[in-house]
Amino acid sequence: MPLPESSLSIICAAIGDFVRNGVNAATNNITVSIAAPAEVAEDDDQHRINLFFYRFEPAGIQSAVRPDEFWRMRMFCLITSFGIDEDDIPAGENDLRMLGEVMRIFHQQPVLSAVNIGSVSVRLQVVFTPVTDEQINQIWSTQSDTVYRPSVIYELALMPVIPSQLRIEPPLVGSLGHQVFGDPAQRYAGFS
């Protein structure tokens, strides 16, 4: 029996679909996957773009979230291209072509289309995250003997962790206010 879907898995799959549609994966014979780079590096029979969601951290705007409220997270995704030699174009150039296309689609649409998770509609912002050689090396060193490939990192914010039982807001019991209305008959009267 498969595990139930979570808001995280639904959003990550939607990001994969966005990349797949943006690079015309079916037309260009590109496979878009969500996995660790070491898992997809073995396949060398077609072009691949891999999304590796590797870090999740709470958003800084919510310091004390109740268990029955949305918990907003920032996700970080390592995007790697695995090209093959094709029509006198070396694999390395195909790596750069695919990676450049991913960068273009995220630059053109930095706020992704809404994703529906049950009755909740979610939109994520995509932010390019420059990293140092040391930071990218730390990520790649966790991938055993996989050879480093051209990669970029994007932050995707703010992804909600949706509780199974949402908080029910109490009704308002009263309100205070003040209203001021002008007298339309006096609108042409002189100042006194």
Residue spans per domain, the chain:
7-168
pTM score of the predicted model: 0.81
Cα 186 from Cα 74, distance rounded (Å): 56
pLDDT digits (tens, 9 = 90+) for 50-102: 999 999 998 877 767 788 888 889 999 999 999 999 889 999 999 999 999 99
pLDDT digits (tens, 9 = 90+) for 122-174: 999 999 999 888 888 888 888 878 888 889 999 999 888 888 887 787 787 77
Topology classification of domain 7-168: STM4215-like (3.30.2000)
